[in-house]
Amino acid sequence: MKNSARIAGVVSILIGMILLAGCVSDTPNLSSDNKTGPVGPEPTTRPQEIPAVIDTKESGTMGSEGQGSAEYLTDYDKGIDLIQKGLYDEAIDAFTESIKANSSFTEAYYQRGLANYELGRIFMYEGTDLRYFEKAVEDFSTVLQSDPSDTKSLTMRGWSYLWIGIHVTNKVYEVNSSLVSNYERGIDDCSQVLEKEPTNIDALNCRALNYFWRVQSGYTFPADPSYLDKAYADAETSLKINSTNPWAYDALGLYYWYKEGYTLADGAFSNAIKYEPDEAFFYVWRARARMGIDKYKALDDLTKAIELQPKYAGAYNGKGAALSYIGDDYESSLSNYEKAIEINPSVSMYYVNYARALWNARGWDEKAQVEVLKLLDKALEVDPTNYEIHGDKAILFVWLNRNQESTNEILIFQNHARTNEDFKYAEEILAYNGAEPWYFTDI
């Protein structure tokens, strides 16, 4: 059957190889060696300026002790020491105590925001929880209520919006304005910074990535067509200022990948890895670029990503895809999809990819056929907006000679179809169903 490729879906399997934010259930090693990703300015031992007026009505334990109490500074200094050691949970507790003692001390909110952001970056690989980035946004927003022009908080809030956006849009096939608004907010925050500080590479990288991911997430809710070129321009500007900053190379690699310039993308991601070799995200994206160049090198990259981050659900999903694409070890492919689902059961494409690989490996087995349908139903339960799943179910029912069920599924698929290829596929299935067994046709 020509359309059995919809089940194999090897290339489209890679759609699910995504980065999602969240937290792990096990207690990780939160040493400073685990510090990942772009961060704001390094915390200082004491802010240069302390608000002159302290509102004792809102200052928690300050109370009647008034402005003379240094308790909030003691807790703040404790938090700074902890954050520098990478003990982010404990640092958050210390900054919270500082805020209780003096709710007007905005530097404690900023540093607590950094600690929450760092936790989000450490825990993003599992991809099941947004709370750290959301709390970071709250803290940076509190600072900005006091000083709307604070470029540190604007930049870090822009980064936080980026990761929130990646979380929510990659879990849903049909995005909407609410879901993609995080990228727009990130773009706006970083643009405000760059109006004041045009050479701020953190803001340039942040805006470039928000531009790209807004485009990447815009298949069903298109972005401003200029965003992709703007992402490229920001990445290039950032590299002219500092040719060794990895996140600019990452943005450049994403741009080339989107344009199907896979060799150029490979080179850009390789530079990102050169300057930050412990960031698993870069290996996953280089693997995506390498799938069309050297599948075995792509597999090596995904293995390395898992070595760096053993709970990286997207990397397991990607490894399953690479193994399926290579086609000589379906059992290992299945085990990687199982691991991705075990880590993060909230991503529809993990179930879809697992179902496709299972069909390719054991489609002749009646128990496997039942399991494939269960997996596709689970994928629809997780994300009802993914109309392509109905197409997968339709072709499976064709193979099983369950023509009425196939017709029901393909009609749903047809009602949501967007491309000429989709419409042609639906017409072929509808024309065939009930005519003859699949093995007598060339569908």
Which residues, including other chains, have CB under 8 Å from residue 259's CB and lie 6 or more apart? none
Give the pLDDT of residue 23: 28
One DSSP character per residue, 247-271 reads HHHHHHHHHHHHTT-HHHHHHHHHH
Cβ contact 282:248 at 8 Å: no
Nearest of 44, 147, 143, 149 to residue 99 by alpha carbon: 143
Rounded to a whole number, what is the distance in angstroms from the first to the last CA of the chain?
5
DSSP state at residue 223: P
Give the pLDDT of residue 42: 39
Reported as a single tens digit per residue, the pLDDT across 370-394 is 999 999 999 999 999 999 999 999 9
- Please give the distance of CA 415 from its chain centroid, rounded to a whole number: 29
Query: What's the whole-number mean pLDDT along residues 107-119?
Result: 97
Residue 33: CA count within 13 A, CB half-sphere:
5
Which residues, including other chains, have CB under 8 Å from residue 36's CB and lie 6 or more apart? 118, 121, 122, 278, 279
The one-letter amino acid at 32 = S
**Residue 420: which pLDDT band, with cuts at 50, 70 and 90?**
confident
SS3 content of the chain, % helix, strand, coil (to 5): 70, 0, 30
Reported as a single tens digit per residue, the pLDDT across 134-151 is 999 999 999 999 999 999
Residue 10 has pLDDT above 80, yes or no: no
Query: What's the whole-number mean pLDDT along residues 293-322?
Result: 96
**Residue 46: which pLDDT band, with cuts at 50, 70 and 90?**
very low
Cβ contact 233:242 at 8 Å: no
One DSSP character per residue, 284-350 reads HHHHHHHTTT-HHHHHHHHHHHHHH-TT-HHHHHHHHHHHHHH-S-HHHHHHHHHHHHHH-TT-HHH
Share of the chain above pLDDT 90, in %: 65
**Residue 315: which pLDDT band, with cuts at 50, 70 and 90?**
very high
Cβ contact 98:24 at 8 Å: no
Residue 178 has pLDDT above 70, yes or no: yes
Report residue 392 as tokens: 């997968």
Report residue 45 as tokens: 């031992």
Cβ contact 115:95 at 8 Å: yes
| Domain assignments of the chain as residue spans, ordered by start | 149-242
**Residue 7: which pLDDT band, with cuts at 50, 70 and 90?**
very low
Tokens 């952001």: give the residue.
117
**Residue 368: which pLDDT band, with cuts at 50, 70 and 90?**
very high
Q: What is the pTM of this model?
A: 0.83
**Residue 94: which pLDDT band, with cuts at 50, 70 and 90?**
very high
C-alpha distances (whole Å) from 199 to each of 193, 209, 245, 286, 435 are: 10, 16, 13, 27, 66
**Residue 279: which pLDDT band, with cuts at 50, 70 and 90?**
very high
Report residue 443 as tokens: 């569908």
Give the pLDDT of residue 261: 96
Query: What's the whole-number mean pLDDT along residues 76-105?
Result: 95
**Residue 364: which pLDDT band, with cuts at 50, 70 and 90?**
confident
Give the pLDDT of residue 371: 95
260: left (phi over 0), alpha (psi -120 to 50) or beta: left
Tokens 């200029």: give the residue.
226
